[in-house]
């Protein structure tokens, strides 16, 4: 197999996350690292605050490349030196479209309306969608839309409650797409 770059879009809560969600996100990152080579896997996030900050920091520790697409109003935030920051000059919602369009697969690790928007955008774009269930956040409601949001069935929504199993499923999806 040649050198292929895999882009994993991550939708995540922008506020102060509970410890249980922090642990789940860290477990997801390290299990994903176990299943995918870090040298050609890029995690794409929409910011560096809340749960997204936890994921960025953990992903960089794990050796992943990280791309951050902050909204225009948050472009002056201090970002890690080893993350790639693309200042798109767009709003929160438009930035989310860029995040999804960049990703080969979207993973929602718990979030609110912005994360749900990213799930719906991924669905309309035909991107594979994986959602961590049982987080206590609004993304848990996506379960009522799974496996398909509408009759077009553009992409299946997978709800997985265990972060390790979620990481393994995402890795299998990405590897399958390369065959």
Let me know: does 39 contact 63? Beta carbons within 8 Å: yes
Q: Of 34-38, 113-117, 145-149, 168-172, which range is least confident?
A: 34-38
State the Cα–Cα distance between residues 107 and 92, nearest whole angstrom. 18
Q: Is residue 1 part of a domain?
A: no
| Structural domain count, the chain | 1
Please tell me the predicted confidence (pLDDT) of residue 37. 81
Instruction: Give the range of the structural domain holding residue 160, as residue numbers without chain letter.
Output: 6-178
Q: Over the stretch 81-121, which tens digit does the pLDDT of each residue have?
A: 999 999 999 999 999 999 999 999 999 999 999 999 999 99
50 sits in the region (left: phi over 0; alpha: psi -120 to 50; else beta) called left
In this structure, is residue 165 part of a structural domain? yes
What's the pLDDT tens digit per position in 45-74?
999 999 999 999 999 999 999 999 999 999
Residue 3 in this model has a pLDDT that exceeds 60:
no
Does any domain span residue 145? Answer: yes
* SS3 of 14-48: CCCCCHHHHHHHHHHHHHHHHHCCHHHEEEEECCC
Does a structural domain hold residue 14? yes
- Has residue 55 been placed in a domain? yes
Residue 178 has pLDDT above 80, yes or no: no
Phi then psi dihedrals of residue 63, to 5 deg: 95, 5
**How sure is the predictor about 1, in pLDDT bands with cuts at 50, 70 and 90?**
very low
Q: Which of 144, 104, 141, 101 is nearest to 121 (CA)?
A: 101
Helices (H), 16-127: 19-35, 50-61, 92-102, 113-124
pLDDT in tens, 114-164: 999 999 999 999 999 999 999 999 999 999 999 999 999 999 999 999 999
Model pLDDT, residue 61: 97
Give the CATH number of the domain where residue 124 resides.
Answer: 3.40.50.450
Rounded Cα–Cα distance for residues 74 and 47 (Å): 8
């Amino acid at each position: 197999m040649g050198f292929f770059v895999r882009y994993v879009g991550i939708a995540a809560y922008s506020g102060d996350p509970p410890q249980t969600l922090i642990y789940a996100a860290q477990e997801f990152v390290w299990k994903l690292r176990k299943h995918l080579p870090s040298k050609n896997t890029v995690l794409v996030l929409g910011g560096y605050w809340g749960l997204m900050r936890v994921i960025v920091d953990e992903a960089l520790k794990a050796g992943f490349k990280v791309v951050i697409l902050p909204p225009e109003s948050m472009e002056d935030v201090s970002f890690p030196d080893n993350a790639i920051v693309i200042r798109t000059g767009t709003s929160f919602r438009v930035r989310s479209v860029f995040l999804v369009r960049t990703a080969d697969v979207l993973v929602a690790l718990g979030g609110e309306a912005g994360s749900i928007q990213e799930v719906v955008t991924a669905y309309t774009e035909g991107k594979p969608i994986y959602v961590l269930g049982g987080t206590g956040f609004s993304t848990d409601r996506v379960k009522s839309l799974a496996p398909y949001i509408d009759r077009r069935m553009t992409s299946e929504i997978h709800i997985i409650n265990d972060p390790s199993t979620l990481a393994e499923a995402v890795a299998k999806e990405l590897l399958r797409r390369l065959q």
